[in-house]
């Protein structure tokens, strides 16, 4: 599981930062990529990576401001030209389907795959299958804006083959029953409990992605105990008044959330173009005075999300 940032800027594209988009790469877990927001020129950024558009199976939109949305019609069209033929589901606020359908209709763009749309509820579960659960909650922005909590299901413990061999259990189809935790009878008459030969379950990981917002209670619920919190940090600590006026958060707001929610790592994105060079380092350093494991991300940064107990 990896996060790759395709755009980390706020409002308009800049030389240093493209507008917002982040890819959650689940290639080992389910051979898929999920996009969160598709700002202008997201498909151009993808060309600088190893991402394959046909692997994108789900798109989650935090809200419908242009810097999070204007790259969507182009990406959808290019996915057709680049071998994408499997269905794609877009989760977004009310108006998402109208925007996409209208853009494709007026431009006479024809996709080679079906699109499915899910309108985000104020709060609720969007995905709940064998490998992941995705929840959303409405935040506090000028228009409807959302945060997402992606929870990986726990991985079953591994079959302890060496222990079986040490106990004289021959390899064969019986191993499949043992792996299921069944009680089995061996050829020599011994009965063994499969649960005794299965290691501890590997706890799943949690990723929280917060869209544009002022601080509000749902953020803490979405972020609780997350392995990674991706939070907008549009402004620095000196701009608290402006941040609130424009329905945004500061680096300090995000750091306080990370600390209170007991997350493991905070990644700050959606950075205003006013912050360059030392000003970006100041954003990071100021946040670290509250939550040490903070990083201001840059375009094309990639972060592995390790299992619990393993180093990143």
Catalytic residue among 37, 67, 286, 299: 67
How far is 296 from 270, CA to CA, in rounded Å?
Answer: 9
Residue 111's alpha-carbon distances to 79, 84, 99, 103, 162, in angstroms, are 8, 9, 15, 12, 51
pLDDT of residue 243: 96
pLDDT of residue 194: 80
* Whether residue 67 lies in the annotated active site: yes
| pLDDT beneath 50, residues of the chain | 312
CB atoms within 10 A of CB 124: 11
pLDDT of residue 157: 76
How far is 197 from 194, CA to CA, in rounded Å?
Answer: 5
How far is 140 from 159, CA to CA, in rounded Å?
Answer: 47
Residue 212 · residue 145 · CB < 8 Å:
yes
pLDDT of residue 181: 82
Tokens of 218: 């749902």
The alpha carbons of the chain give a radius of gyration, in whole angstroms, of: 22
What is the dihedral sign for C-alpha 298, 299, 300, 305?
positive
CATH 3.30.565.10 fits domain 2-155+202-304: no
CB atoms within 10 A of CB 48: 10
pLDDT of residue 309: 60
Please list the alpha-helical segments (H only) found in the chain. 27-30, 42-46, 72-81, 96-106, 161-166, 174-179, 217-223, 240-245, 251-261, 278-288
Q: For helices 278-288 and 251-261, what crossing angle results, to 10°?
A: 30
Tokens of 12: 């308009």
pLDDT of residue 199: 78
Contacts 24+ apart (CB under 8 A), 157-166: 157/198, 157/199, 157/200, 157/201, 157/202, 158/198, 158/199, 159/197, 159/198, 159/199, 160/197, 160/198, 160/199, 163/197, 164/197
* Domain boundaries for CATH 3.60.15.10 within the chain: 2-155+202-304
């Amino acid at each position: 599981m990896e996060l790759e940032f395709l755009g980390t800027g706020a409002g308009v594209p800049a030389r240093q930062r493209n507008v917002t988009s982040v890819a959650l790469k689940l290639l080992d877990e389910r051979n898929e990529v999920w996009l969160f927001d598709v700002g202008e020129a997201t498909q151009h950024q993808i060309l600088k990576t190893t991402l394959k558009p046909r692997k994108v199976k789900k798109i989650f939109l935090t809200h419908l401001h242009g810097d999070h949305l204007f790259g969507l019609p182009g990406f959808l069209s290019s996915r057709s030209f680049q071998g994408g033929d499997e269905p794609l589901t877009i989760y977004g606020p009310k108006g998402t389907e109208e925007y996409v359908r209208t853009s494709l209709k007026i431009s006479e763009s024809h996709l080679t795959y079906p699109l499915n749309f899910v309108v985000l509820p104020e709060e609720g579960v969007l995905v709940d299958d064998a490998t992941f659960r995705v929840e959303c909650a409405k935040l506090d922005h000028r228009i409807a804006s959302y945060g997402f909590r992606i929870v990986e299901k726990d991985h079953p413990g591994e079959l302890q083959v060496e222990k079986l061999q040490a106990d004289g259990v021959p390899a064969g189809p019986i191993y499949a029953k043992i792996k299921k935790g069944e009680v089995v009878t061996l050829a020599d008459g011994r009965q063994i409990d499969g649960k005794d030969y299965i290691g501890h379950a590997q706890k799943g990981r949690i990723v929280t992605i917060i869209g544009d917002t002022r601080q509000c209670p749902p953020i803490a619920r979405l972020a609780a105990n997350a392995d990674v919190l991706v939070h907008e940090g549009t402004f620095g600590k000196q701009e608290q008044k402006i941040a609130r006026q424009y329905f945004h958060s500061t680096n300090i707001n995000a750091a306080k959330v990370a600390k209170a929610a007991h997350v493991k790592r905070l990644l700050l994105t959606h950075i205003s173009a006013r912050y360059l060079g030392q000003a970006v380092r100041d954003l990071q350093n100021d946040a670290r005075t509250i939550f040490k494991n903070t990083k201001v991300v840059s375009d094309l940064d990639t972060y592995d999300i390790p299992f619990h107990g393993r180093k990143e």
